[in-house]
Amino acid sequence: MEIATIHVYGMTCDHCEESVKNALLKVDGVSAVTVSYQNRTAEVQYEASEVSMEELEKAIESQGYEVA
């Protein structure tokens, strides 16, 4: 199990956090997500053998946010 902290730009409220969290939880291999719009981060617990960092970033970007 891996834990990654992804910097997310463009979140401004609780709804933004929920959108990012829900998108990440739909990705196979992700087991837990904590998102903070104030810190501009998404902390993702995932199985590296099942999902790549690129897939996690694409899930966030699909909601209209930028990652770095």
Per-residue pLDDT of 17-58, as tens digits, reads 999 999 999 999 999 999 999 999 999 999 999 999 999 999
Q: The domain that contains 6 carries what CATH number?
A: 3.30.70.100
Give the range of the structural domain holding residue 59, as residue numbers without chain letter.
2-67
Count of other CB atoms within 10 angstroms of residue 24: 25
Domains identified in the chain, total number: 1
What are the structure tokens assigned to 24, written together?
């990440």
Q: Is 14's pLDDT higher than 90?
A: yes
pLDDT band at 68 (very low <50, low <70, confident <90, very high): confident
Q: Which residues contact 33 (CB under 8 A, 6 or more apart)?
A: 20, 21, 24, 25, 42, 43, 44, 45
Contacts of 54 (CB under 8 A, 6+ apart): none
